[in-house]
Amino acid sequence: MSAAFMNTPSTAPAAPLHQPSPGLWMLAWRRLKHDKVGMVSLAVVIIFLLMMVGSYTGLIAKNWSKEAGVSYANPSFMAGAENLEAVRTKADPNAIKIEPVDLSDIDPLAPRYKEWAERTAKIKTTETPRAETLPFGGDKWGRDVLQKAIKGAETSIFVGLFAALFAVFIGTTLGAISGYMGGKIGDLLEWFYNVFTSIPYILLILAFAAVFASSPQLAAYKGVPMVVAILAFTGWTGIYRLIRSEYIKHASREYVKAAQAIGASNSRRMFVHILPNVSHVCLVQLSQHVVQFIKAEVILSYLGLGVPVDSVSWGTMLAEAQSELVIGKWWQLAAAGISMAILVTAFSMLTDSLRDALDPKIK
Amino acid sequence: MENLLEVKNLNVKFRLDGNQIFEAVKGISFDVPKNSTVALVGESGSGKSVSAMSIVRLLPKETAIISLDSEVNFEGHNLLRLADDKMRAIRGKDISVIFQEPMSSLNPVFTVGDQIAEVLRLHTRMTRKQAWSRAEELMNEVGIPNPKLRMNSFPHELSGGQQQRVMIAQAIACEPKLLIADEPTTALDVTIQKQILDLIANLQQRHQMSVLFITHDLAVVGEIADHVVVMQSGEIKEKATAKAIFETPQHPYTKALLSCRPSVDQRPKRLPVIADFLRPEGVNKDNLVQRKRGYEAGDQIVLEVKNLSKKFTLKDGLFKRREVVAVKDASFKLARGKTLGLVGESGSGKTTVGLTLMRLHNASSGEVLFDGVDLLKLSEKDFLKYKRRIQIVFQNPYASLNPRFTVGQILIEPMKIHSIGRDEQERTSMAMALLTRVGLPDISFYKYPHEFSGGQRQRIAIARCLTMKPDVLICDESVSALDVSVQAQVLNLLQDLQDEYQMSYIFISHDLAVVKYISDQVMVMSEGDVVEVANSDEIYLHPQHEYTRKLLGSIPKGWHASTVPTA
Amino acid sequence: MGAYVLRRLWQMIPTLAGVMLLIFVLFNWVGGDPALVLAGKITNKDQIENIRKQLGVDQPAYVQLGYFAFEVATGFTCTWKSYTDKAEPPKLDAKTPGSAADSATKAKANSGCQAVRSWATNEEVPKILTTRITPTLTIMIPVLILETLLGVILAIGVAYARGTLTDRMIMMICTVAMSVSFLVYIIVAQYIFGFQLGWFPVQGWSDSFWKNITYYAPLPIALAVFVGLAPALRLYRSFFLDEINNEYVRTARAKGVPEKTVMMKHVLRNAMIPILTNIGIALPGIFVGSFLLETFFSIPGLGREILVAVNRSDFPVIKAATVYLAMVTMIINLLVDVLYKAVDPRVTFK
């Protein structure tokens, strides 16, 4: 029925001689351009990526760690509100202890507060006049929350992006080998996959985190590289499964058989013929895993298993925000929560749009 | 004669991506008289299925637009204007439908008994028990053996033919006045097709219903239809009684359709195609230059296959392994410039023979002698230089070309692998020349496969093989997925190329008429066994083996056969 | 069927061996010298050597692997050393001396078998795991049931209204809801419903199941269901839409089956197959529970225990939990595959 009319060749306008026609990527891009939601999402993602590059190179949010305002400085739009904590800190500059409710039971970072305090003490504070208000408020030490959120975005996106790249690389390589080769090698990789997936995902992450954190050899890589490694080593399995089944499917397709018939080698069939035909799956997986890993990084950092406290991330911000909320200081929570929500929403919608645009049904 | 159904000015459009509109059916009108069979014939994209589905309003609501002045009158109602629940009451009761793919058309998780009983419970006042026993009677009526037991089977436990019988039982359960059959035999083997066609014709007579039979195959139409409607790209080209269509076709398209499909009793040098009929002088069907086929004494043998066998081992149970024999002791010879036809139904092992002898599958035993060398014994490295001499064209034109390569890359790749041509420039010009040879414009070189139709893609696949100048070309169902008019063009091309390059073909197909037409010698296979090998004309005139006779008897004979009263 | 289950159990052996190998490699090599991890800040060489001996890490790798295999085989209720030596249990008091040294320990000393103990609390690991599982399941079983039921019901509704504005709005809300971190939901909900409104206790747990389920558990359960619903709804909707596009749906319509029956009978029955797969994947996770919820609401569950163990580098607890849960996962997977037969008649046990 509908298949019958789908077969009707859509008459493409005759292209001028010697100009290559649009390939499938080009056609997918054209489809994506027609997708308004997709394009807006793409724009948001690009803005965040630019922000990441900007803050990495020090163009923006360079002074995020500067204690520019009074403790818990109000956001500019709430300039009039009273700020008891700031008053108290002013009266007694040494009193940083603000803990109206004892959260140490539920706050996994409780044992680390002392450590933080020590570290902050080490950072030489240049006494500059402290502002009463900051654009989006200040944290306990009077740091600009907006700048922190930008810096936090840098860490979170960096981790999400690179962990996803590594996971896709591992998953695709192993999946391609397993799906294409099959046989003994395939069985071995399947065993490997079964081992990893028979441990619940959360537990696997925590086990890796525990081991990596205590390893003396890996001590030098603590922080961002370690989080990337943990997420990548535990997160490749889904991609492996998908790519493997794609390779099995494509290896039996006639175009691959035809390549074999003309004498194309195994590696040529695997990488030159099949890989471009599954690359769109990789791209969608990449995008999907960036989202997943950003969320995971936030939780790991919150738990103190992620990035160290001196490099801010959305997760560490949320950890601080938890106790701040109780005393009514909601802006750090809002800043981290909202910026993350915007990025992740945009990324998820982009993933959906990508999937639609790359739909291989249209061939 | 009184009309049961009148379709007037039916116009159906589809919304495509990016606000495009595609007009699938362009204002057609036809009638279905009471107690008769009307065939709606056309190639893919003709709009035949869309027309039929719009009668019962089964087109996707989101994308299909039926224009407001269209009418489908059935027993005094315009079905297109009927309220949803009234239409629903008609579907399955007064008008029922059977589809092309019985396997996917039946719900996999319910027993077939449940599915037949469901339609009875919906439209009659039968109790659960009554419906169940009536369903059993229906299973019996459509010829399913042991219906009592089969009632509790799930669809996947039945063969394709039996599944289609279940669909038919379900369709006739409520004694419909109109049965719409949408390519009901296309997915079935030829012997099963024959049985299903007989069943439908039989039921039509017994239940005094009308049948709207949708098909691409005119030969089938001749067997079953009283009236024929020929469609092409959304328009009706001709409508008449079956007798008139077959004996005095008026429209060139009808004429072309009738004669571009090879028949068993003729072998013209070239098959006439639509373009031939559009020329003012037309084609005289009975006056075509005929071609002689058959192996002769002096033929040079290029390929000799001795006792080729292929077994697959499947895991079965804890440690057990089960062997499935796909090909058993196949032996044959292939002469230079001649064609060996390999024919059989699905599961006969014919494709496996092709793949095994060019080592796309590993043979279990046997010899493939090419130039006196046993190809199966060569190392992978030594085999490479023989690879270019045996090539293959696959069935599915949509899957056999890498969608990420341009046609140029597709053609140049084999030349690079086998170091044909001095440099890129020479290879490019060779590729261009081949494109011209297979009838494609130069510009194709820069295009991607998705920009071509099925027939054009098959030409590209052929050109890819030609780059290596093979001695043997294996055509594995290469024309089966194509529309008949396109099929004729590709067959003509293959004939021309054989004449020009003296290539030998191994032509694998389930289609006996096509095999007869193009082959010098024919090898009939059944369940892995070679049943019979003989010269083409010989095998069709004097089949020796029981199975060959059965196979030949199932070929739809078209009009002439059905005019002769059957005993 | 029997043969199938046997074969599956047989196939679990290499997988379990792999899990053990992975854990062994991770914790004995990658994690650094276990003795040093246990010793913590102790730098005395003799003491460290002593710990090393007690842990058996002075032995070659294959011997250590053997010890580990023995522990796994006994379900961590017996260490190889205690089994062979029948000696005094190793006094692992390096970190928190005597904090949990209960009298039962001494009583059992003579029986020969000593369970693997936590490095941090000296508690018996099997006991830790078995006592912590109840609170976790008290939370997670209601979560799984509610989430699946609500997810399926809403998904049917949304799939029925596919393409409409309602459908698109709900999908949009789901995407946005999914992009807010679970952390934010917990922090905000605990603050609003616990601190501010006082509708629920901020945190806590009791020994009474009834009190837990009616008083302490509702907020965590509601949170988990709320957060899990959006992805479940999206996923289940896609399952329904995949089924709606199948040809058997067209056949049902051609038979005159009303659209609602098409959805509730033909489509639902088929969509149950991927839904069951999905539940099967999610099921092992309920044993780990939501460690975030358990941490925030002070629920003495397995997730929190594992997290505490990770923070303290309490390797025996993590190792045992991992092996146990891997076994549970494999058994659940087998059960789910057997259950398939009930849902999908095409499944054959080969």
pLDDT confidence band for A131 (50 / 70 / 90)? low
pLDDT in tens, A81-116: 666 665 555 544 454 444 444 455 555 566 566 666
Instruction: Give the integer Cα–Cα distance in Å for C69 and C21.
Output: 9
What pLDDT, on the 0 to 100 scale, is given for residue B1? Answer: 65
- Those chains having 3 or more beta-carbon pairs within 8 angstroms of chain B are A, C
Question: What integer is the mean pLDDT of A116-132?
Answer: 62
- Of the candidates C78, C100, C99, C97, the one whose C-alpha atom is nearest the C-alpha of residue C89 is C78
Closest residue, chain A, to C176 (C-alpha):
A345
**pLDDT of A173 higher than 90:** yes
Q: Nearest to residue A198, comparing CAs of B129, C284, B161, B164?
A: C284
pLDDT above 70: residue A349: yes
Does A267 reach chain B within 8 Å, measured CB to CB?
Answer: no
Considering only CA atoms, which of B180, B174, B167 is closest in space to residue B207?
A: B174
Question: What confidence tier does C109 reach under pLDDT thresholds 50, 70, 90?
Answer: very low
Hunting for tokens 């892995």 — which residue is that? Answer: B528
Contacts of B315 in chain C (CB under 8 A): 350
**Does residue C32 carry a pLDDT above 80?**
no
C22 pLDDT above the threshold of 80: yes
Query: In whole angstroms, what is the distance from residue B258 CA to residue B429 CA?
Result: 39
| Contact residues on chain A for C322, CB-CB shorter than 8 A | 199, 203-204, 207
Looking at residue A245, its pLDDT comes to 92
Q: A351-361 pLDDT, tens per residue? A: 888 888 886 55
What sections of A236-274 are H helices per DSSP?
237-251, 254-261, 266-267
Lowest mean pLDDT of B457-466, C56-65, C101-110, name the range.
Answer: C101-110
Structure tokens given for A205: 């992450």
From A4, A9, A254, residue closest to B400, measured CB to CB: A254
Question: Where does the pLDDT of residue C107 fall: very low under 50, low under 70, confident under 90, or very high at 90 and above?
Answer: very low
- B104 vs C78 pLDDT, higher one: B104
Q: Using 50, 70 and 90 to split pLDDT, how confident is the model at C200?
A: confident
CA B548 to chain CA centroid, nearest Å: 20
Most confident listed range (A198-207, B85-94, C50-59): B85-94
Structure tokens at B123: 């439209």
> What's the mean per-residue pLDDT of chain B?
88
Q: Which of residues 5-34 of B touch A (CB under 8 A)?
A: 14, 17-18, 22, 24
Domains of chain B: 31-55+79-249 (3.40.50.300), 297-389+470-486+501-567 (3.40.50.300), 400-467 (no CATH)
Inform me whether the pLDDT recorded for C263 exceeds 80: yes
> Would you state the pLDDT for residue B563?
46
Read off the DSSP letter of residue A338. Answer: H
pLDDT at C108: 47
What pLDDT, on a 0 to 100 scale, did the predictor assign at position A97?
46
Q: Give the pLDDT confidence score for residue C268 in this predicted structure.
A: 92
Give the pLDDT mean for A137-155: 77
Contact C181 A295 (CB under 8 A): yes
Residue for token digits 């009184």? B2
The stretches in chain B having pLDDT less than 70 are 1, 18, 285-286, 315-320, 559-567
Mean pLDDT over each residue of chain A, to the nearest integer: 78
Q: Are A232 and A163 in contact (CB under 8 A)?
A: yes
* Distance from the Cα of residue A295 to its chain's centroid: 7
Q: Residue A88: its pLDDT value, please?
A: 54
Using the beta-carbon criterion (under 8 Å), do A210 and C315 form an inter-chain contact? yes
Chain C's closest residue to B117, CA to CA, is: C255
Which element (helix H / strand E) includes B236?
A: strand B235-241
Which residue type does B162 have?
Q
pLDDT for A300 equals: 87
Distance CA B438, CA B421 (A): 20
Q: Which residues of A touch C21 (CB under 8 A)?
A: 195
A30: closest CA among A351, A287, A358, A282?
Answer: A358
The answer to whether C54 and C89 are in contact (CB under 8 A) is no
Question: What do you get for the CA distance between the two ends of chain C, in Å?
Answer: 8
Query: Looking up tokens 């085999």, which residue turns up?
Result: B383
- Tell me if C26 and A200 make a contact (CB, 8 A cut-off): no
CA distances from residue A328 to A72, A313, B512 in whole angstroms, order as listed: 10, 22, 84
Contact B311, B477 (CB under 8 A): no
Q: Where residue A302 falls among pLDDT bands split at 50, 70, 90?
A: confident
Q: Is B441 on the interface with A (CB under 8 A)?
A: no
For C135-157, write each residue's pLDDT tens digit: 888 888 999 999 999 999 999 99
> Rounded CA gap, C77 and C93, in Å?
19
C-beta of residue B326 within 8 angstroms of C-beta of residue B301: no
Of the candidates B70, B82, B63, the residue with the CA atom closest to the CA atom of residue B26 = B70
Q: Which domains occur in chain A, in start order? A: 48-70+138-357 (1.10.3720.10)
Note whether C30 contacts A210, CB cutoff 8 Å.
Answer: no
Find the CB nearest A21 among B391, B399, B447: B447
Contacts of C14 (CB under 8 A, 6+ apart): A191
Residue A220 at interface with chain B, using a CB cutoff of 8 Å: no
CA distances in angstroms from B97 to A90, B55, B222, C251, listed in the order given: 84, 11, 21, 8
Does C348 have pLDDT greater than 80? no
**Whole-number Å distance between alpha carbons of A210 and C311:** 7
Distance CA A339, CA C61 (A): 48
Secondary structure of B328-356 in the HEC alphabet? Answer: EEEEEEEECCCEEEEECCCCCCHHHHHHH
CB neighbours of residue B307 within 10 Å: 12
- Count Cα neighbours of C14 within 13 Å in the Cβ-side half-sphere: 11
- Counting as contact any 3 or more CB pairs under 8 A, the partners of C are A, B
Do β-strands B37-41 and B227-232 pair in parallel, antiparallel, or remain unpaired?
parallel
Task: Tell whether the model's pLDDT for residue A281 goes beyond 60.
Answer: yes
- Give phi and psi for B97, each to the nearest 5: -130, 140
> Per residue in B168-199, pLDDT tens?
999 999 999 999 999 998 888 888 888 999 99
User: B473 near B391, Cβ under 8 Å?
Assistant: yes
pLDDT band at C350 (very low <50, low <70, confident <90, very high): low
C246 — phi, psi (to 5°)? -80, 160
Asked whether the predicted pLDDT for residue A75 surpasses 80, the reply is no
Q: Place A121 in a pLDDT band, splitting at 50, 70 and 90.
A: low
- Complex ipTM over 0.90: no
Tokens of B135: 């369903």
Average pLDDT over residues C150-166: 90
Of the residues A1, A2, A257, A280, the best mutation for testing chain B's interface (the one with the most B CB atoms within 10 Å of its CB) is: A1
As a whole number, mean pLDDT of residues C45-72 equals 76
CA-CA-CA-CA dihedral for B213, B215, B218, B219, to nearest 10: -80
